[in-house]
């Protein structure tokens, strides 16, 4: 399976330009699955909910998302990309999985980071996996990395590849995702952005270094920090089916959920 990411620098408040940049970068790509950054169309550093809604897309009625679907159809591939999602009076920090026939799944970010809480409603979608060409993929968005329950919930449902659109500003995530891939024996594709959003409320700088990690925490590739990067690798998703860390230790089957009740009820 050919999977990868496109790291770029979305321009704040320029969805059409950002969409065009993505379309141009991917027009000849040969891949089954490409992951793009969080909020790849709108840019990141929104000031409040009104501004988030201004730059949001209604997936049922979005020329930009339709164009990306057409691209997925033409290239016979899947895309996972982050966008601000307008839904009635709500606005979510979402990621869509789109394929040759359009939208297959929308995940709404569960764990909002910092000032995102001024702009978005907390996600209300469960962690589920989608089947693409017989391979199970799950989605998390950026700051979800802090909550190991997310990768675990996806792995327990059979996710072989975790797709993570990101706009990372802290320095810990890339390295932490190696652990997520060790403890769940999964692949993870983190598609981060780079550059900065300079807004009246401040400046945020993004860390790039998008990456693909294999089960066992093996870093297959990490991009440069501050540069466009389209990277595609051939992987064998079945490698994620082997959960044995030693001949006696299955990282999923050896869990002791009866001892973890405080995880659920606290």
Residues serving a catalytic function are 38, 109, 142
Asked if 197 interacts with ligand ACM (CB under 6 A), we say no
Asked if 55 interacts with ligand ACM (CB under 6 A), we say no
Asked if 168 interacts with ligand ACM (CB under 6 A), we say yes
Query: Quick one: which of 142, 177, 188, 223 contacts ligand ACM (CB under 6 A)?
Result: 142
- Per-residue CA distances from 266 to 64, 147, 260, 261, 262 (Å): 41, 14, 10, 8, 5
Q: Are 31 and 2 in contact (CB under 8 A)?
A: yes
Asked if 110 interacts with ligand ACM (CB under 6 A), we say no
Of 130 and 167, nearer to ligand ACM (C-beta) is 167
3-class DSSP state of 163: strand
Asked if 143 interacts with ligand ACM (CB under 6 A), we say yes
Write down the H helix ranges in the chain.
Answer: 15-26, 49-54, 63-75, 148-156, 173-184, 261-265
Q: With CB under 6 A as the rule, give the number of residues binding ligand ACM.
A: 7
Of 32 and 197, nearer to ligand ACM (C-beta) is 197
Q: Are 220 and 234 in contact (CB under 8 A)?
A: no
Which range binds ligand ACM by CB under 6 A, 52-60, 162-170, 183-191, 246-254? 162-170
Burial of 172 (0-12, 13-18, 19+ CB in 10 A): exposed
Query: Quick one: which of 18, 130, 167, 211 contacts ligand ACM (CB under 6 A)?
Result: 167
Residues that bind ligand ACM (CB under 6 A): 38, 113, 142-143, 167-169
């Amino acid at each position: 399976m050919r999977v990868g990411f496109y790291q770029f620098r979305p321009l704040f408040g320029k969805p059409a330009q950002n969409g065009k940049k993505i379309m141009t970068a991917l027009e000849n790509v040969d891949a089954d699955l490409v992951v793009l950054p969080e909020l790849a169309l709108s840019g990141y550093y929104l000031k409040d909910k009104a501004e988030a809604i201004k730059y949001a897309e209604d997936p049922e009625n979005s020329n930009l998302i339709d164009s990306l679907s057409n691209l997925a159809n033409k290239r016979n591939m899947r895309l996972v990309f982050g966008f601000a999602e307008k839904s009635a009076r709500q606005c979510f920090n979402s990621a869509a999985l789109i394929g040759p026939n359009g939208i297959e799944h929308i995940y709404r970010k569960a764990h909002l980071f910092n000032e995102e809480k001024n702009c978005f409603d907390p996600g209300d979608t469960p962690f589920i996996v989608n089947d693409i060409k017989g391979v199970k993929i799950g989605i998390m968005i950026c700051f979800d990395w802090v909550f190991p329950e997310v990768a675990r919930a996806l792995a327990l449902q059979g996710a072989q590849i975790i797709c993570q659109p990101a706009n990372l500003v802290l320095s810990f995530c890339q390295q932490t995702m190696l652990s997520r891939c060790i403890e769940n024996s999964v692949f993870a594709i983190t598609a981060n952005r780079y550059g900065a959003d300079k807004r009246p409320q401040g400046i945020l700088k993004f860390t790039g270094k998008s990456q693909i990690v294999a089960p066992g925490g093996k870093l297959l590739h990490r991009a440069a920090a501050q540069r466009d990067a389209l990277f595609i690798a051939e992987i064998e998703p079945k490698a994620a089916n082997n959960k044995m860390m030693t001949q006696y230790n299955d990282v999923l089957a050896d869990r002791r959920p009866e001892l973890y009740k405080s995880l659920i009820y606290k």
